Chains A and B, each alone.
Chain A
Amino acid sequence: MISIFQNYGGELLTGLGQTLLCSIIALIFALIIGSAFAIMETMPNKFARVVARVYIEVFRNIPLLVITMFFYVVIPMYIVKISGFASGTVGLTLYSSAFIAETVRSGIQSVDPGQMEGARSTGLSYWQSMRYIILPQAFRYVIPPLGNQFINLVKNSSVLAFVAGFDLMYQANVIASDSLQSMSTYMCVGVLYLILTLPLSYYMRHLEKKLA
């Protein structure tokens, strides 16, 4: 295992960087898109609810790999040329955003409806009550399940390996076939994924204790 780190340190580091970059981009956008669809799903407007429902059901129920392959193969053929890294990151963002939307929705709905009524009766608009009264409480409720989604997202970024996105898993496949030491290579990569996910896991735990 040590020899893998010594001989392929550069490759592993590139892989770690690409995985981290993809995860951060996907995490930020998935959180924004997911929250937006969660709010739409709880809106009084029926049209908005239907649009959100369709989006969530489509991206939640198609395998991540299929979404990614669609962006890698079909989009460059007809629309615009995008690299493996970009298609993987877009696929991961859309896929994760559907799960995050469902998580955040459950948070919004677990806030007592009386809160909204109370806020509206003090003269706040619907958006103001959402922004200042409902959402802060909703996010606090859903920190633990949201943490799960974030960790899943980091691990799911290994889909980049399929579309030559130069991430950790891609480098692992390359190194394993080059060094012919599959077992120790995948062990190394497992440790590197732990290095990415464990701090995230601890941070979410810390956040949960601080806010709840």
Chain B
Amino acid sequence: MKKYLKSFLLVLFALGCFVTTQAQDVAANANIDVMRSNGKIYVVMAVVATIVTGLFLYVYSIDKKISKLENK
């Protein structure tokens, strides 16, 4: 159950990001927000930060599973 909750939250988060960007597209006609400045380098930053976070979540979940097995 907990597993599904996590996936659900992740999907929700992704949807949230998507909706926010869509909304920003409409709102910001000029290149004024941070994400679009400097040749959109901050988009790459967000991507890398997401990958690092996801990687750590994955390793964390494996660690937890192994710990559970060890405690058996």
Instruction: Report if A and B associate in a common complex.
Output: no
B residues whose Cβ falls under 8 Å from a Cβ of A: none
A residues whose Cβ falls under 8 Å from a Cβ of B: none
